[in-house]
Chains A and B, each alone.
Chain A
Amino acid sequence: MKIIVPVKRVVDANIKIRVKPDGSGVELANVKMAMNPFDEIAVEEALRLKEAGKATEIIVVSIGSATCAETIRTALAMGADRGILVKAEGRIEPLAVAKLLKAIVAKEEPGLVILGKQAIDDDSNQTGQMLAALLDWPQGTFASRVAVDGEHVEVTREVDGGLQTVRLALPAVVTTDLRLNEPRYASLPNIMKAKKKPLDETTSEALGVDATPRLEVVATREPSGRQAGIKVASAAELVAKLKTAGVL
């Protein structure tokens, strides 16, 4: 069974972004980029399935500018087998990403697609569910445990009230939550090896997908800020202040 893992290149989770003064978007020039953290978890899970003999090949896909090749190389250095870069400029919305992934799934015929539950830049939390819909596959989102047995996958999901477990017939779509695993670091020899692994390039035109955005971003602004308040000297003073403020 092949596994496809879509990986998105995003601003590093440790960076606090700034909104451009003219409100035209978020400042991305000279900002440190990294693989979306949920996608690292997805790559790790695919690697573990391969190591357990449940998968044969792991293909990572990234959609975006040429620099996304770096993100693919990171996944290859972790241990994925090959990469596909879908070159696209500008804003690519989850629906377009899902359509592009569907076209790749049609060619590669994987048994599983494992995505992150959410990209930490657009915070959409849509792509995996949309891909499952377009393929008419079952979905196991927000996974904290994934177990493949034969023709099925059992997915334990993090939900509002706790945990829920579903059993899906393969092929299926899974999206990762934070507690699924701890991604490995790529070792130096593996980083060197990754440079020789195959990385194909394609485009939305070649895949026959219209990736034009459906939503227009009218403006981007800073959130209304919060001022630091005061320091109190003791727990007793804190309680007194909260009583005065009327919340206790």
Chain B
Amino acid sequence: MPATQRIPTQIVENKVIVWDPADGSKLYSNGFYGKPLGIRKPKTTEFDRPSQLSFFEALHLLRKGTIEIFIEDPKAPLDERRLIAIAEEHHQDFSRKYQVYEDLRKRGFVVRPGLKFGADFAVYRQGPGIDHSLFIVEVIAKSDEVSAIEVVRAGRLATSVRKRFVLATSTEKGKIRYFVFSWIKP
């Protein structure tokens, strides 16, 4: 999308609102970004209400040049740094989690919130409503270490939600690493 046609969005508390339903529908149908207000599971990619983006989605779309974001004055859009600063206030560990979000998006996955599965992200090959999520991803608390409790949680949760549970972390060089844990009874 050319820079001139950036979709305007507005920060309201901890969400980024896409006011125009046509814009929201466009974002949803091109990669499943955002969620229409008050529709739990959108059946179609066309809807008639504003939609909300998470900060992860907003930063990614801002970087791609798809959207612009303002707070009060539509003529004063935010830059990346300002957006990250706001996101950090609202979402603990935002930047580290964002690295994983972006890595997964760049790999071509559809990345949606994973809270209802007890993780950071739910990852789809095609998208919600088309296929079930392939796996869920938790970004580990400390970037270079895995603790016993994280291993156990990952293994147990994978069993209970019947999905592959992936722990993601970034190495010192900033590369993202993914590990799958599964519980076994030897």
Are both chains from one complex?
A: no
Q: Which residues of A contact B (CB under 8 A)?
A: none
